[in-house]
Protein backbone atom coordinates (compact mmCIF):
# COMPACT_ATOMS: atom_id res chain seq x y z
CA UNK A 1 0.00 0.00 0.00
CA UNK A 2 1.27 3.48 -0.82
CA UNK A 3 2.35 5.78 1.97
CA UNK A 4 0.02 8.77 1.90
CA UNK A 5 -0.50 10.61 5.21
CA UNK A 6 -3.68 12.23 3.86
CA UNK A 7 -5.21 9.15 2.19
CA UNK A 8 -8.34 9.79 4.25
CA UNK A 9 -8.97 13.23 2.78
CA UNK A 10 -11.71 12.74 0.23
CA UNK A 11 -11.59 8.95 0.69
CA UNK A 12 -14.59 6.64 0.36
CA UNK A 13 -15.04 4.47 3.45
CA UNK A 14 -17.30 1.41 3.26
CA UNK A 15 -19.07 0.62 6.53
CA UNK A 16 -19.50 -3.05 7.42
CA UNK A 17 -21.98 -4.17 10.07
CA UNK A 18 -20.18 -7.43 10.99
CA UNK A 19 -23.21 -9.37 12.25
CA UNK A 20 -24.86 -8.91 8.88
CA UNK A 21 -22.16 -9.15 6.22
CA UNK A 22 -21.34 -12.85 5.80
CA UNK A 23 -21.81 -15.86 8.08
CA UNK A 24 -18.93 -18.30 7.55
CA UNK A 25 -19.66 -20.91 10.23
CA UNK A 26 -23.44 -21.44 10.06
CA UNK A 27 -24.44 -19.89 13.39
CA UNK A 28 -26.63 -17.20 11.81
CA UNK A 29 -24.24 -14.37 12.73
CA UNK A 30 -21.84 -12.66 10.37
CA UNK A 31 -18.19 -12.90 11.34
CA UNK A 32 -14.66 -11.78 10.51
CA UNK A 33 -13.78 -14.77 8.28
CA UNK A 34 -16.99 -14.00 6.39
CA UNK A 35 -15.92 -10.38 5.94
CA UNK A 36 -12.51 -11.52 4.73
CA UNK A 37 -14.15 -13.74 2.10
CA UNK A 38 -16.11 -10.76 0.74
CA UNK A 39 -13.41 -8.08 0.62
CA UNK A 40 -13.09 -8.43 -3.15
CA UNK A 41 -16.64 -7.05 -3.47
CA UNK A 42 -15.55 -3.83 -1.75
CA UNK A 43 -12.28 -3.59 -3.66
CA UNK A 44 -14.18 -4.14 -6.92
CA UNK A 45 -16.57 -1.35 -5.98
CA UNK A 46 -13.60 0.99 -5.62
CA UNK A 47 -13.71 1.99 -1.95
CA UNK A 48 -10.55 3.17 -0.20
CA UNK A 49 -11.21 1.72 3.23
CA UNK A 50 -13.53 -0.37 5.36
CA UNK A 51 -14.93 0.53 8.75
CA UNK A 52 -16.14 -2.28 11.01
CA UNK A 53 -18.80 -1.65 13.63
CA UNK A 54 -17.75 -3.09 17.04
CA UNK A 55 -16.23 -6.58 17.05
CA UNK A 56 -15.00 -6.61 20.66
CA UNK A 57 -16.02 -8.96 23.47
CA UNK A 58 -19.52 -7.97 24.54
CA UNK A 59 -22.74 -9.28 26.13
CA UNK A 60 -24.45 -7.76 23.04
CA UNK A 61 -27.12 -5.83 24.92
CA UNK A 62 -26.58 -3.14 22.29
CA UNK A 63 -25.03 -5.33 19.59
CA UNK A 64 -21.41 -4.71 20.54
CA UNK A 65 -21.69 -1.08 21.60
CA UNK A 66 -21.42 -2.42 25.16
CA UNK A 67 -17.80 -3.58 25.40
CA UNK A 68 -16.56 -5.90 28.14
CA UNK A 69 -13.01 -6.37 26.75
CA UNK A 70 -11.48 -3.66 24.58
CA UNK A 71 -8.52 -5.77 23.43
CA UNK A 72 -10.13 -8.98 22.23
CA UNK A 73 -12.60 -10.17 19.60
CA UNK A 74 -16.04 -11.44 20.59
CA UNK A 75 -16.22 -15.21 19.96
CA UNK A 76 -19.31 -14.74 17.79
CA UNK A 77 -17.10 -12.83 15.33
CA UNK A 78 -13.94 -14.94 15.51
CA UNK A 79 -10.48 -14.52 16.99
CA UNK A 80 -7.59 -12.10 16.94
CA UNK A 81 -5.92 -14.38 14.40
CA UNK A 82 -8.99 -14.03 12.17
CA UNK A 83 -8.73 -10.27 12.56
CA UNK A 84 -5.05 -10.28 11.63
CA UNK A 85 -5.80 -12.36 8.52
CA UNK A 86 -8.53 -9.92 7.52
CA UNK A 87 -6.18 -6.93 7.83
CA UNK A 88 -3.53 -8.72 5.77
CA UNK A 89 -5.97 -9.47 2.95
CA UNK A 90 -7.54 -6.01 3.04
CA UNK A 91 -4.14 -4.37 2.76
CA UNK A 92 -3.20 -6.71 -0.10
CA UNK A 93 -6.34 -5.51 -1.92
CA UNK A 94 -5.44 -1.86 -1.30
CA UNK A 95 -8.08 -1.35 1.41
CA UNK A 96 -7.40 0.51 4.64
CA UNK A 97 -9.02 -0.92 7.80
CA UNK A 98 -10.82 1.22 10.39
CA UNK A 99 -12.56 -0.06 13.50
CA UNK A 100 -15.10 1.36 15.93
CA UNK A 101 -14.01 2.65 19.32
CA UNK A 102 -16.78 2.89 21.92
CA UNK A 103 -15.03 4.96 24.57
CA UNK A 104 -17.77 6.93 26.31
CA UNK A 105 -19.20 3.87 28.07
CA UNK A 106 -18.52 0.18 28.63
CA UNK A 107 -20.65 -2.85 29.34
CA UNK A 108 -21.79 -3.25 32.93
CA UNK A 109 -20.05 -6.63 32.67
CA UNK A 110 -16.66 -5.00 32.20
CA UNK A 111 -14.41 -5.99 35.14
CA UNK A 112 -13.70 -2.36 35.94
CA UNK A 113 -17.38 -1.52 36.40
CA UNK A 114 -17.94 -4.70 38.40
CA UNK A 115 -15.18 -3.45 40.72
CA UNK A 116 -16.30 0.18 40.68
CA UNK A 117 -19.83 -0.62 41.81
CA UNK A 118 -18.66 -2.50 44.92
CA UNK A 119 -17.66 0.50 47.05
CA UNK A 120 -16.58 4.15 47.06
CA UNK A 121 -13.00 3.27 48.00
CA UNK A 122 -11.87 0.53 45.58
CA UNK A 123 -9.17 1.24 42.93
CA UNK A 124 -11.79 1.73 40.19
CA UNK A 125 -14.26 3.67 42.33
CA UNK A 126 -13.78 6.87 40.33
CA UNK A 127 -13.57 5.30 36.86
CA UNK A 128 -17.31 5.70 36.18
CA UNK A 129 -19.72 8.58 36.80
CA UNK A 130 -21.23 8.23 40.27
CA UNK A 131 -23.42 10.71 42.11
CA UNK A 132 -25.27 10.90 45.41
CA UNK A 133 -29.07 10.97 45.40
CA UNK A 134 -31.07 14.06 46.16
CA UNK A 135 -32.34 14.30 49.76
CA UNK A 136 -35.58 12.62 48.66
CA UNK A 137 -33.67 9.73 47.06
CA UNK A 138 -34.29 10.81 43.49
CA UNK A 139 -31.56 10.91 40.82
CA UNK A 140 -29.11 13.84 40.98
CA UNK A 141 -30.49 15.65 37.91
CA UNK A 142 -32.84 15.40 34.94
CA UNK A 143 -30.47 13.85 32.38
CA UNK A 144 -32.26 11.35 30.17
CA UNK A 145 -31.07 8.11 28.53
CA UNK A 146 -31.31 7.85 24.75
CA UNK A 147 -32.97 4.43 24.94
CA UNK A 148 -35.65 5.68 27.33
CA UNK A 149 -36.04 6.72 30.93
CA UNK A 150 -33.82 8.64 33.28
CA UNK A 151 -30.08 8.40 32.60
CA UNK A 152 -29.24 7.18 36.12
CA UNK A 153 -29.42 3.77 37.80
CA UNK A 154 -29.17 2.97 41.49
CA UNK A 155 -26.38 0.90 43.03
CA UNK A 156 -27.30 -0.10 46.61
CA UNK A 157 -23.77 -1.14 47.56
CA UNK A 158 -22.50 2.40 47.02
CA UNK A 159 -25.82 4.08 47.81
CA UNK A 160 -25.26 6.13 44.68
CA UNK A 161 -26.49 6.46 41.12
CA UNK A 162 -24.35 5.80 38.06
CA UNK A 163 -24.77 7.61 34.77
CA UNK A 164 -25.67 5.87 31.52
CA UNK A 165 -26.50 7.90 28.43
CA UNK A 166 -27.76 4.75 26.73
CA UNK A 167 -28.85 1.47 28.36
CA UNK A 168 -28.50 0.85 32.07
CA UNK A 169 -26.10 -1.91 30.98
CA UNK A 170 -23.85 0.78 29.43
CA UNK A 171 -22.36 2.80 32.32
CA UNK A 172 -20.48 5.96 31.37
CA UNK A 173 -16.76 6.27 32.01
CA UNK A 174 -15.57 9.24 34.06
CA UNK A 175 -13.27 11.02 31.63
CA UNK A 176 -12.45 13.64 34.26
CA UNK A 177 -10.20 10.91 35.69
CA UNK A 178 -6.82 11.06 33.84
CA UNK A 179 -6.33 7.33 34.42
CA UNK A 180 -9.43 6.59 32.33
CA UNK A 181 -8.11 8.71 29.47
CA UNK A 182 -4.72 7.03 29.49
CA UNK A 183 -6.24 3.55 29.66
CA UNK A 184 -8.33 4.24 26.57
CA UNK A 185 -5.29 5.59 24.74
CA UNK A 186 -3.39 2.41 25.64
CA UNK A 187 -6.23 0.28 24.25
CA UNK A 188 -6.15 2.25 21.02
CA UNK A 189 -2.40 1.73 20.80
CA UNK A 190 -3.02 -2.04 21.02
CA UNK A 191 -5.03 -1.91 17.77
CA UNK A 192 -2.68 0.53 16.05
CA UNK A 193 0.19 -1.85 16.76
CA UNK A 194 -1.95 -4.60 15.25
CA UNK A 195 -2.13 -2.70 11.98
CA UNK A 196 -5.45 -0.84 11.90
CA UNK A 197 -5.38 2.32 9.82
CA UNK A 198 -7.82 4.37 11.86
CA UNK A 199 -10.76 4.58 14.22
CA UNK A 200 -14.37 5.59 13.98
CA UNK A 201 -15.18 7.16 17.35
CA UNK A 202 -18.66 6.41 18.61
CA UNK A 203 -20.52 9.32 20.26
CA UNK A 204 -17.36 11.42 20.29
CA UNK A 205 -19.09 14.40 21.94
CA UNK A 206 -20.31 12.33 24.91
CA UNK A 207 -17.00 11.68 26.66
CA UNK A 208 -17.18 14.40 29.31
CA UNK A 209 -20.08 15.49 31.48
CA UNK A 210 -20.63 18.64 33.49
CA UNK A 211 -18.86 18.09 36.82
CA UNK A 212 -21.50 20.16 38.61
CA UNK A 213 -24.23 17.85 37.26
CA UNK A 214 -26.45 20.79 36.32
CA UNK A 215 -29.87 20.07 34.83
CA UNK A 216 -30.19 20.21 31.06
CA UNK A 217 -32.69 22.93 30.07
CA UNK A 218 -35.80 22.28 28.00
CA UNK A 219 -35.48 21.83 24.26
CA UNK A 220 -36.85 25.04 22.70
CA UNK A 221 -37.66 23.16 19.48
CA UNK A 222 -40.15 20.79 21.07
CA UNK A 223 -43.66 21.22 19.66
CA UNK A 224 -45.91 21.44 22.73
CA UNK A 225 -48.88 20.06 20.77
CA UNK A 226 -47.09 17.08 19.20
CA UNK A 227 -44.58 16.32 21.94
CA UNK A 228 -41.76 13.81 21.42
CA UNK A 229 -41.75 10.02 21.08
CA UNK A 230 -38.57 9.90 23.19
CA UNK A 231 -38.24 12.01 26.37
CA UNK A 232 -34.53 12.43 25.60
CA UNK A 233 -35.54 14.92 22.91
CA UNK A 234 -37.33 17.16 25.40
CA UNK A 235 -33.94 18.40 26.64
CA UNK A 236 -31.28 20.73 25.28
CA UNK A 237 -28.15 18.73 26.17
CA UNK A 238 -25.70 21.46 27.14
CA UNK A 239 -24.48 19.78 30.34
CA UNK A 240 -24.79 16.03 29.77
CA UNK A 241 -22.48 16.19 26.72
CA UNK A 242 -20.59 18.64 24.45
CA UNK A 243 -18.30 19.78 27.25
CA UNK A 244 -15.19 21.93 26.58
CA UNK A 245 -12.96 19.36 28.31
CA UNK A 246 -13.55 17.12 25.30
CA UNK A 247 -11.16 19.15 23.15
CA UNK A 248 -7.91 18.39 25.04
CA UNK A 249 -8.71 14.66 24.97
CA UNK A 250 -9.26 14.75 21.21
CA UNK A 251 -5.84 16.36 20.95
CA UNK A 252 -4.35 13.53 23.01
CA UNK A 253 -5.88 10.97 20.66
CA UNK A 254 -4.54 12.85 17.64
CA UNK A 255 -1.06 12.96 19.21
CA UNK A 256 -1.22 9.19 19.63
CA UNK A 257 -2.16 8.59 16.00
CA UNK A 258 0.52 11.01 14.82
CA UNK A 259 3.09 8.61 16.26
CA UNK A 260 2.09 6.22 13.46
CA UNK A 261 2.17 6.63 9.69
CA UNK A 262 -0.97 7.22 7.63
CA UNK A 263 -3.60 6.80 10.38
CA UNK A 264 -6.89 8.63 10.81
CA UNK A 265 -9.71 9.48 13.23
CA UNK A 266 -13.35 10.10 12.29
CA UNK A 267 -15.79 11.06 15.01
CA UNK A 268 -19.55 10.62 15.22
CA UNK A 269 -21.16 13.79 16.55
CA UNK A 270 -24.50 12.87 18.08
CA UNK A 271 -26.17 16.22 18.47
CA UNK A 272 -29.48 17.78 17.38
CA UNK A 273 -28.63 21.48 17.74
CA UNK A 274 -25.09 22.44 16.75
CA UNK A 275 -23.78 19.34 15.01
CA UNK A 276 -22.17 21.10 12.04
CA UNK A 277 -20.56 23.64 14.37
CA UNK A 278 -19.19 20.85 16.58
CA UNK A 279 -17.92 18.94 13.53
CA UNK A 280 -15.92 22.00 12.55
CA UNK A 281 -14.62 22.57 16.06
CA UNK A 282 -13.54 18.96 16.47
CA UNK A 283 -11.68 18.83 13.12
CA UNK A 284 -9.85 22.15 13.38
CA UNK A 285 -6.20 21.97 14.34
CA UNK A 286 -4.62 18.81 15.74
CA UNK A 287 -7.84 17.10 16.77
CA UNK A 288 -9.90 14.70 14.67
CA UNK A 289 -9.07 14.29 11.00
CA UNK A 290 -12.79 14.07 10.13
CA UNK A 291 -16.21 14.16 11.76
CA UNK A 292 -19.76 13.39 10.73
CA UNK A 293 -23.18 14.08 12.17
CA UNK A 294 -26.74 13.03 11.40
CA UNK A 295 -27.55 16.14 9.39
CA UNK A 296 -27.71 14.23 6.08
CA UNK A 297 -29.14 11.08 7.65
CA UNK A 298 -32.69 12.36 8.06
CA UNK A 299 -35.82 12.74 5.91
CA UNK A 300 -34.87 16.09 4.35
CA UNK A 301 -34.12 15.61 0.63
CA UNK A 302 -34.07 19.17 -0.65
CA UNK A 303 -31.38 21.16 -2.47
CA UNK A 304 -31.33 23.91 0.14
CA UNK A 305 -30.80 21.40 2.94
CA UNK A 306 -27.72 19.82 1.40
CA UNK A 307 -26.29 23.19 0.45
CA UNK A 308 -26.83 24.53 3.97
CA UNK A 309 -24.86 21.68 5.61
CA UNK A 310 -21.86 22.00 3.32
CA UNK A 311 -21.73 25.81 3.37
CA UNK A 312 -22.13 25.99 7.14
CA UNK A 313 -19.32 23.52 7.67
CA UNK A 314 -16.72 25.12 5.42
CA UNK A 315 -17.70 28.65 6.48
CA UNK A 316 -17.38 27.80 10.16
CA UNK A 317 -14.34 25.53 9.84
CA UNK A 318 -12.37 26.34 6.69
CA UNK A 319 -9.48 24.25 8.02
CA UNK A 320 -11.66 21.34 9.18
CA UNK A 321 -12.81 18.31 7.21
CA UNK A 322 -16.22 16.60 7.10
CA UNK A 323 -17.23 13.01 6.39
CA UNK A 324 -20.64 12.81 4.75
CA UNK A 325 -23.02 9.84 4.77
CA UNK A 326 -26.62 9.24 3.73
CA UNK A 327 -27.12 5.90 5.54
CA UNK A 328 -25.60 3.93 8.40
CA UNK A 329 -26.51 1.29 10.99
CA UNK A 330 -28.55 3.75 13.10
CA UNK A 331 -31.04 5.20 10.61
CA UNK A 332 -33.62 4.14 8.04
CA UNK A 333 -31.88 3.45 4.72
CA UNK A 334 -32.00 6.53 2.52
CA UNK A 335 -33.56 4.71 -0.45
CA UNK A 336 -36.60 4.17 1.78
CA UNK A 337 -36.45 7.58 3.48
CA UNK A 338 -36.47 9.61 0.28
CA UNK A 339 -38.50 7.46 -2.13
CA UNK A 340 -41.87 8.93 -3.18
CA UNK A 341 -44.67 7.12 -5.07
CA UNK A 342 -43.73 8.92 -8.31
CA UNK A 343 -40.01 8.05 -8.15
CA UNK A 344 -38.26 5.02 -9.61
CA UNK A 345 -36.23 3.28 -6.92
CA UNK A 346 -33.17 2.65 -9.12
CA UNK A 347 -33.17 6.25 -10.33
CA UNK A 348 -33.28 7.57 -6.77
CA UNK A 349 -30.58 5.16 -5.60
CA UNK A 350 -28.21 6.12 -8.42
CA UNK A 351 -28.89 9.82 -7.98
CA UNK A 352 -28.26 9.63 -4.25
CA UNK A 353 -24.95 7.90 -4.97
CA UNK A 354 -23.98 10.61 -7.44
CA UNK A 355 -24.94 13.36 -5.00
CA UNK A 356 -23.00 11.83 -2.14
CA UNK A 357 -19.91 11.03 -4.20
CA UNK A 358 -19.63 14.58 -5.53
CA UNK A 359 -19.54 16.13 -2.07
CA UNK A 360 -16.49 18.01 -0.77
CA UNK A 361 -15.25 15.88 2.11
CA UNK A 362 -14.74 12.22 2.81
CA UNK A 363 -17.57 9.78 2.16
CA UNK A 364 -19.00 6.86 4.08
CA UNK A 365 -21.05 4.21 2.25
CA UNK A 366 -23.13 1.76 4.28
CA UNK A 367 -23.19 -1.88 3.19
CA UNK A 368 -25.97 -2.51 0.67
CA UNK A 369 -26.20 1.14 -0.28
CA UNK A 370 -24.31 0.28 -3.48
CA UNK A 371 -27.20 -2.06 -4.35
CA UNK A 372 -29.96 0.47 -3.66
CA UNK A 373 -31.01 -1.68 -0.73
CA UNK A 374 -34.24 -0.79 1.07
CA UNK A 375 -35.16 -0.74 4.74
CA UNK A 376 -36.51 -4.14 5.84
CA UNK A 377 -40.06 -4.15 7.16
CA UNK A 378 -39.91 -6.14 10.40
CA UNK A 379 -42.59 -7.25 12.82
CA UNK A 380 -42.28 -6.56 16.53
CA UNK A 381 -41.43 -10.16 17.41
CA UNK A 382 -38.47 -10.04 14.99
CA UNK A 383 -36.77 -7.10 16.70
CA UNK A 384 -33.52 -7.27 18.66
CA UNK A 385 -32.77 -3.54 18.96
CA UNK A 386 -33.58 -2.04 22.39
CA UNK A 387 -34.56 1.25 20.75
CA UNK A 388 -37.26 -0.41 18.66
CA UNK A 389 -38.42 -2.67 21.48
CA UNK A 390 -38.74 0.25 23.90
CA UNK A 391 -40.41 2.74 21.55
CA UNK A 392 -42.50 0.60 19.19
CA UNK A 393 -44.54 1.57 17.20
CA UNK A 394 -43.66 5.29 17.33
CA UNK A 395 -40.11 4.28 16.44
CA UNK A 396 -39.35 0.86 14.95
CA UNK A 397 -35.69 0.94 15.89
CA UNK A 398 -32.61 0.19 13.84
CA UNK A 399 -33.00 -3.48 12.95
CA UNK A 400 -34.57 -2.64 9.59
CA UNK A 401 -31.28 -1.27 8.25
CA UNK A 402 -29.20 -4.03 9.86
CA UNK A 403 -30.64 -7.10 8.14
CA UNK A 404 -28.15 -9.41 6.39
CA UNK A 405 -26.35 -8.46 3.21
CA UNK A 406 -27.97 -10.23 0.25
CA UNK A 407 -25.43 -11.78 -2.10
CA UNK A 408 -27.49 -14.21 -4.24
CA UNK A 409 -31.13 -13.84 -5.19
CA UNK A 410 -31.57 -17.59 -5.74
CA UNK A 411 -29.98 -18.94 -2.55
CA UNK A 412 -31.47 -19.51 0.93
CA UNK A 413 -30.94 -16.48 3.17
CA UNK A 414 -29.63 -14.66 0.09
CA UNK A 415 -26.27 -16.40 0.37
CA UNK A 416 -25.61 -14.82 3.78
CA UNK A 417 -25.22 -18.22 5.47
CA UNK A 418 -26.48 -21.78 5.71
CA UNK A 419 -28.86 -21.32 8.64
CA UNK A 420 -31.54 -18.90 9.80
CA UNK A 421 -29.84 -15.54 10.38
CA UNK A 422 -30.12 -13.35 13.47
CA UNK A 423 -32.42 -11.01 11.52
CA UNK A 424 -34.63 -12.19 8.64
CA UNK A 425 -33.94 -11.76 4.94
CA UNK A 426 -37.14 -10.48 3.32
CA UNK A 427 -38.23 -10.77 -0.35
CA UNK A 428 -37.79 -7.02 -0.94
CA UNK A 429 -34.12 -7.34 -0.01
CA UNK A 430 -33.62 -10.51 -2.10
CA UNK A 431 -34.75 -8.59 -5.17
CA UNK A 432 -31.72 -6.31 -4.83
CA UNK A 433 -29.08 -9.01 -4.41
CA UNK A 434 -25.51 -8.40 -5.52
CA UNK A 435 -25.73 -11.29 -7.99
CA UNK A 436 -28.36 -9.41 -10.01
CA UNK A 437 -26.24 -6.25 -10.29
CA UNK A 438 -22.50 -6.90 -10.29
CA UNK A 439 -21.27 -6.88 -13.88
CA UNK A 440 -24.68 -5.86 -15.25
CA UNK A 441 -24.52 -2.53 -17.07
CA UNK A 442 -26.77 0.22 -15.76
CA UNK A 443 -27.44 -1.30 -12.33
CA UNK A 444 -27.07 0.61 -9.12
CA UNK A 445 -23.86 -1.26 -8.29
CA UNK A 446 -22.23 -0.57 -11.64
CA UNK A 447 -23.28 3.10 -11.45
CA UNK A 448 -21.68 3.37 -8.02
CA UNK A 449 -18.54 1.73 -9.37
CA UNK A 450 -18.40 4.24 -12.22
CA UNK A 451 -18.92 7.13 -9.80
CA UNK A 452 -16.22 5.89 -7.43
CA UNK A 453 -13.76 5.52 -10.30
CA UNK A 454 -14.49 9.06 -11.48
CA UNK A 455 -13.96 10.42 -7.97
CA UNK A 456 -10.75 8.44 -7.49
CA UNK A 457 -9.30 9.75 -10.75
CA UNK A 458 -10.07 13.43 -10.11
CA UNK A 459 -8.71 15.39 -7.19
CA UNK A 460 -11.26 18.13 -7.83
CA UNK A 461 -14.10 15.75 -6.90
CA UNK A 462 -12.36 14.65 -3.71
CA UNK A 463 -10.99 17.88 -2.26
CA UNK A 464 -11.84 20.71 -4.65
CA UNK A 465 -13.81 23.68 -3.32
CA UNK A 466 -17.58 23.77 -3.80
CA UNK A 467 -19.25 26.77 -5.41
CA UNK A 468 -23.05 26.74 -5.52
CA UNK A 469 -24.75 28.07 -8.64
CA UNK A 470 -28.36 27.31 -7.85
CA UNK A 471 -30.52 25.74 -5.19
CA UNK A 472 -34.28 25.96 -5.13
CA UNK A 473 -37.12 23.66 -4.21
CA UNK A 474 -35.96 20.98 -6.65
CA UNK A 475 -32.67 21.89 -8.40
CA UNK A 476 -29.16 21.82 -6.95
CA UNK A 477 -26.24 23.02 -9.07
CA UNK A 478 -22.61 23.46 -8.03
CA UNK A 479 -19.07 23.24 -9.27
CA UNK A 480 -16.16 21.32 -7.74
CA UNK A 481 -12.68 22.75 -7.95
CA UNK A 482 -13.67 24.85 -10.98
CA UNK A 483 -13.37 21.63 -12.99
CA UNK A 484 -16.74 19.89 -12.70
CA UNK A 485 -20.34 20.96 -13.01
CA UNK A 486 -22.81 18.90 -10.95
CA UNK A 487 -26.57 19.13 -11.48
CA UNK A 488 -29.26 17.36 -9.46
CA UNK A 489 -33.03 17.47 -9.82
CA UNK A 490 -34.09 16.22 -6.39
CA UNK A 491 -37.75 15.83 -7.30
CA UNK A 492 -40.18 13.78 -9.34
CA UNK A 493 -40.94 16.73 -11.66
CA UNK A 494 -38.96 17.98 -14.69
CA UNK A 495 -36.48 20.85 -14.36
CA UNK A 496 -34.23 22.91 -16.65
CA UNK A 497 -30.76 24.42 -16.29
CA UNK A 498 -29.15 26.81 -18.77
CA UNK A 499 -25.49 26.01 -19.34
CA UNK A 500 -22.71 26.20 -21.92
CA UNK A 501 -21.53 22.75 -20.79
CA UNK A 502 -22.83 20.32 -23.37
CA UNK A 503 -21.38 16.90 -22.52
CA UNK A 504 -21.45 14.84 -19.34
CA UNK A 505 -19.07 12.34 -17.81
CA UNK A 506 -21.97 10.55 -16.13
CA UNK A 507 -25.66 11.45 -16.35
CA UNK A 508 -29.15 10.09 -15.74
CA UNK A 509 -32.51 11.22 -17.13
CA UNK A 510 -30.85 14.29 -18.66
CA UNK A 511 -30.49 15.68 -22.17
CA UNK A 512 -28.78 18.79 -23.53
CA UNK A 513 -30.47 20.81 -26.26
CA UNK A 514 -30.32 24.45 -27.36
CA UNK A 515 -28.17 25.63 -24.47
CA UNK A 516 -30.25 23.95 -21.79
CA UNK A 517 -30.11 20.76 -19.76
CA UNK A 518 -33.53 19.12 -19.56
CA UNK A 519 -33.57 17.23 -16.27
CA UNK A 520 -36.20 14.58 -15.66
CA UNK A 521 -37.20 13.20 -12.27
CA UNK A 522 -34.16 12.25 -10.17
CA UNK A 523 -31.85 13.42 -12.95
CA UNK A 524 -28.19 14.16 -12.43
CA UNK A 525 -25.33 15.41 -14.56
CA UNK A 526 -21.63 15.35 -13.75
CA UNK A 527 -19.72 17.19 -16.46
CA UNK A 528 -16.26 18.68 -17.03
CA UNK A 529 -16.24 22.44 -17.36
CA UNK A 530 -13.59 22.36 -20.06
What is the per-residue pLDDT for 272? 83
Is residue 262 exposed (0-12), middle (13-18) or buried (19+ Cβ within 10 Å)?
Answer: middle
Phi-psi region of 210 (alpha: psi -120 to 50; beta: other; left: phi over 0): beta
For the residues 421-446, what does the mean pLDDT come to? 98
User: Of 259, 379, 457, 513, which residue is the catalytic one?
Assistant: 259
Give the C-alpha separation, 303 to 170, whole Å. 39
* Protein fold of 456-528: Immunoglobulin-like (2.60.40)
Of the candidates 101, 74, 76, 71, the residue with the CA atom closest to the CA atom of residue 26: 76
How far is the first Cα of the chain from the last one, in angstroms, to the nearest whole number? 33
Phi, psi (degrees; rounded to nearest 5) at 509 = 55, 35
pLDDT at 369: 98
The 3-class secondary structure across 214-225, one letter per residue, is CCCCECCCCCCC
Q: What is the pLDDT of residues 30-75, one digit of tens each?
A: 999 999 999 999 999 999 999 999 999 999 999 999 999 999 999 9
What are the φ/ψ torsions at residue 110 (nearest 5 degrees)?
A: -65, 135
Cα maximum dimension of the chain: 80
Which pTM does this prediction carry?
0.97
- Return d(Cα 280, Cα 291) in angstroms, integer: 8
DSSP summary character for residue 425: P
Which one is catalytic: 202, 271, 369, 450? 202
Q: Is 12-105+178-439 a domain of CATH 3.20.20.80?
A: yes
259 is catalytic: yes
- Cα 314 to its chain centre, rounded Å, is 20
- The rounded mean pLDDT for the chain is 97
Domain residue limits, the chain: 12-105+178-439, 456-528
Q: Per 3-state DSSP, what percentage of the chain is helix, strand, and coil (rounded to 5)? A: 30, 20, 50
pLDDT > 50? residue 99: yes
> For 194-218, b where at least 16 C-beta lie within 10 A, e where not — what string?
eebbbbbbbbbbbbbbbeebeebee
The stretch 192-208 carries a mean pLDDT of 98
Residue 239: its pLDDT value, please?
A: 98
pLDDT of residue 250: 98
Residue 145 to residue 162: CA distance in whole angstroms: 12
Amino acid sequence: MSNNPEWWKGAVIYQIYPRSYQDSNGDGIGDIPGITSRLEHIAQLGADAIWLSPIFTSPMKDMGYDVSDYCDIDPSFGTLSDFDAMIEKAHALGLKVMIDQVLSHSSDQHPFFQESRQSKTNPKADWYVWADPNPDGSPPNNWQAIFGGIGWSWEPRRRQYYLHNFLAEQPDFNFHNPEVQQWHLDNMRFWLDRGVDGFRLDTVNFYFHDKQLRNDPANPRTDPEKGEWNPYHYLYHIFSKNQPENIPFLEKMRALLDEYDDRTLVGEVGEAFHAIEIMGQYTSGKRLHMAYSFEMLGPNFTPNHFRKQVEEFFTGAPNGWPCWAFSNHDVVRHASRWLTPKMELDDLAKQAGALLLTQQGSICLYQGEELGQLESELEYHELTDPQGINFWPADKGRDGCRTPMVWYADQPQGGFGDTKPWLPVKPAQLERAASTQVGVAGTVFETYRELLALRADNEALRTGATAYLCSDEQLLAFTRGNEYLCLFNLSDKPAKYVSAVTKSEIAQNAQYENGTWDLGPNAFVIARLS
